[in-house]
Amino acid sequence: MCKRSICLFFVVLVLALAGNARAQIDPASVTNGHVYLFDNVGADVPDDSANSHTANLIGSPQVVDGLKGKALQFDGVDDGVHIPDSTMINLSTNQNRTVVAVFNCADVTKSEKQTVYEEGGTTRGLVIYVHEGLVYAGGWNLSDYTPEWTGTFLSAPITSNAWYAVAMVLKDAGPAQEDDKFEMWMDGQFIDIGPGGQLQSRSNDCAIGYTNSQTKLHDGNITGGGVYFEGIIDDVWIFDNTALTQVELSAFSGEPWPYAFGPDPADGSFLENTWGTLLWSPGAFGVTHDVYAGENFDDVDSGTADTFVGDTEPNSPWKGAVWSFTVPPRTAYLPDPADGAESVALDAELTWTPGFEAKLHTVYFGESFDDVNNAAGGPLLAEATFTPPGPLELAKTYYWRVDEFDPPTTYRGAVWSFTAEGTAADPNPAKGAVEVSPTPILKWTPANLAASHEVYFGADADAVANATKASPEHKATKALGAETYAADRLELMTTYYWRVDEVNDTNPSSPWVGNVWSFTTGDFLVVDDFESYNDIDPPDEASNRIFDKWIDGFGTLTNGALVGNDLPPYAETTIVHGGDQAMIYAYDNAGKTSEATLTLVYPRNWTEEGVTRLSLWLRGNSANAADSIFVALNDTAVVYHDDASATQLLGWNEWVIDLAAFGIDLTNVNTITIGIGTKNAPAPGGGTGTMYFDDIRLLKPAP
């Protein structure tokens, strides 16, 4: 039986109005957190969850009618709710967290910050607060792991005397800052996403409506407490190690959810059986449902019913998401080391996931694919683990196969392989990468015993695999510490192969022949992908700092742009669109226009390969001052983004410009400028903000 992924597609067919199937979570069912609804406030504030973690009043918040029952009104002077430390809030490590606050701010235009909810301190914590027309959701962890979570502050505009349900969600975070781990939602709608890391245990009691002791904000730290909120807070929901879904978050907005949700088996799950009943929760308006099932995503996604009876709701049918579950195979699967793994430890133990209902296992292991593939009659093992006989050899490739036995049938496994440590590792571009720059810089991690490296490169896999130093595929000898190779301009849409041999003349086993890696170039030219910049300072000849190539307004009074970070890493390494680096770009348009200019080396002929469009990716923030963004070529030809407030665009946005719009000779483009504001404005003016730019490319005509 093969391993199969089954896709399920639910369409809700409306025949009559049904009740709101997506009701808000029952607070009494919350066993992994605390809920403060303020419906029964007395001398203290009860916890409405299944736990009993009572909070107490600070000052004199008043019980008033709220959005969904009773609420607390805060005076913005000395009112608050103090929440003692809790293992379900801050005295634990969290990879997942959700905090939802339902509030109504009396005056969002205040210059003073107004805390809605906060936990932790200036080293680790979470916070929701209001400042100058924006509501912020922030998180940080400035210790415990590397790279640390330096702080993410997402925001959205709000108005005074209006109700909002704001949520911050930390999802699948680990012990290092990673992109796209911290989310902000408002009224059930996604607002923005940014970097995040797991939250370690953090001291300081928690608070609603004020800051208990200290916290971190988008523009600095707060110590000594205060930061009082003026307005009404209806609910605060705090979930421990839980990342709520869009359906669950939308319940707090009070709007009905029309789509099917809550599939069982869960989306992406394993169903360890050969039969099952498919269940789901209906959307708010559906009473009958069309179900599409199959083994092909596209077939399920494009499935439609021929006719709909009683289709009186103009918005119906509500096309559901495509869900999937997997029935495990009879054969062994998920090998560890993974098939094709490199740099495997010499004392590695081999494990795998047993096939469905397998009782015993037979392992075949060796240095020859044919020997392992043809082996038979091996001994039966009770455990899904195997230790190779004796230590593995450096840089050697091994093969192994696991046959599963479920009496009376044996299920033959696939032949897997791995390579022991001793070879170059961690290729960049990654093995099998696509859409790679045609002017790539190849990088790798050296093996422990390497003293130097021999680099082989070409378009023929066999030629690269068999090449020697006398072959044309041999491109360079690189010293230890110089694990990079800049390939020449490559053909577009072509697959290339490369190999790095590790050399140490003092070791008789040297050289250690490397694995053959491959990548495929994209159908575009790269103006700048920001991957080549480094943190090496002058006068070192290897210095290639981003702000030495993108010339900004540093030291001038008329240019408000500042590119890069003041300290390493100089290029942005967390908020990136592609690869490992992007350009962070701060602007200050008070009496200035902001510009950063790159003098081109290649490409300068912007008609090469038939390209007709310029593409760049940009990312703003709703907290940025609204302003125009422009691109200028040769300092004269200017094109502006269609959105006059493009600096406030959330997430990564591709801006594609028809090159003809520049109206210049495209065969000799010397410079490209990215600017904020109006170029050559007689009386420039504006505010401040921070932008991110990445992946500037030249594209062929759209198909």
pLDDT of residue 323: 85
| Ranges of each domain in the chain | 4-22+256-327, 27-253, 333-420, 425-522, 528-699
Q: Which residue has the higher pLDDT, 265 or 381?
A: 381
- Listed ranges 300-309, 312-321, 398-407; the one with the highest mean pLDDT: 398-407
Does 78 have pLDDT greater than 50? yes
108 touches 158 (CB < 8 A):
yes
Instruction: Summarize pLDDT for 580-592 with one digit per residue, the tens.
Output: 899 999 999 999 9
* Stretch (H or E) spanning 462: helix 461-466
Phi, psi of 343 (to 5 degrees): 55, 40
Residue 305 pLDDT exceeds 80: no
22, pLDDT greater than 50? no
Model confidence at 6, in pLDDT bands (50, 70, 90)?
very low
Q: Which two tokens stand for residue 442?
A: 């190849």
Residue 526: band (very low, low, confident or very high) from pLDDT cuts 50, 70, 90: very high
Asked if residue 630 has pLDDT above 90, the reply is yes
Range of weakest confidence among 149-158, 282-291, 371-380: 282-291
Q: Is 91 helix (H, G, I), strand (E, B) or coil?
A: coil
Region for residue 579 given its phi and psi (left: phi exceeds 0; alpha: psi -120 to 50; beta: otherwise): left
User: pLDDT tens digits, residue range 597-624?
Assistant: 999 999 999 999 999 999 999 999 878 9
**Residue 506's pLDDT band (cuts 50, 70, 90):** very high
pLDDT at 72: 98
Q: What is the Cα–Cα distance from 369 to 398, expressed in whole angstroms?
A: 8
Residue 546 confidence (pLDDT) above 90: yes
What average pLDDT does this structure show over 109-126?
93
Query: Is 489:483 a contact under the CB 8 Å cutoff?
Result: no
Judged by average pLDDT, the poorest of 114-123, 198-207, 532-541, 662-671 is 198-207
Query: What CATH homologous superfamily does 333-420 map to?
Result: Immunoglobulins (2.60.40.10)
Mean pLDDT of 414-421: 97
Percent of the chain at pLDDT > 90 equals: 73
Mean pLDDT along residues 239-246: 91
Pairing status of strand 516-521 against strand 433-436:
parallel
Kindly state the helix (H) or strand (E) to which residue 466 belongs, with its residue range: helix 461-466
Q: What is the pLDDT of residue 276?
A: 81
- 3-state secondary structure at position 465: helix
Least confident of 204-213, 221-230, 692-701: 221-230
Averaged pLDDT, 690-697: 97
Q: What is the mean pLDDT of residues 66-79?
A: 94
Structural fold of domain 425-522: Immunoglobulin-like (2.60.40)
Q: Which CATH code is given to the segment(s) 528-699?
A: 2.60.120.260
Tell me which fold the domain 27-253 belongs to. Jelly Rolls (2.60.120)
User: What mean pLDDT comes out for the span 515-533?
Assistant: 97
Instruction: Provide the pLDDT confidence category of residue 169 given band limits of 50, 70 and 90.
Output: very high
pLDDT of 256: 65
Among candidate residues 271, 197, 235, the one with its CA nearest the CA of residue 30: 235
Residue 344's identity, in one-letter code, is V
pLDDT surpassing 50 at residue 209: yes
**378 pLDDT above the threshold of 90:** yes
Cβ-based neighbours of 132, under 8 Å, separated by 6 or more: 108, 109, 110, 111
Neighbours of 135 (CB within 10 A): 25
Measure the CA–CA gap between 311 and 376, rounded to whole angstroms: 62
How far is Cα 631 from Cα 640, in angstroms, rounded to an integer? 7
Residue 92 pLDDT > 90: no
pLDDT digits (tens, 9 = 90+) for 431-482: 999 999 999 999 999 999 999 999 999 999 999 999 999 999 999 999 999 9
User: DSSP letters along 515-578, please?
Assistant: PEEEEEE-SEEEEE-S-S---PPTTSTT---HHHHEE--TT-SSB-EEES-SSSS-SBSSS-SS
Domains 333-420 and 425-522 share a fold: yes
- In the prediction, which pLDDT does 255 show? 64
Query: C-alpha distances in angstroms, 315 versus 14, 258, 669?
Result: 9, 10, 50
Q: Which pLDDT value is given to residue 304?
A: 64
Q: Tell me which of 92 and 497 has the higher pLDDT.
A: 497
Side-chain half-sphere of 2: how many Cα atoms within 13 Å? 4
The four Cα atoms 437, 442, 445, 450 give a dihedral, to 10 degrees, of 170
For residue 25, the model assigns a pLDDT of 81
Task: Decide if pLDDT at 309 tops 70.
Answer: no
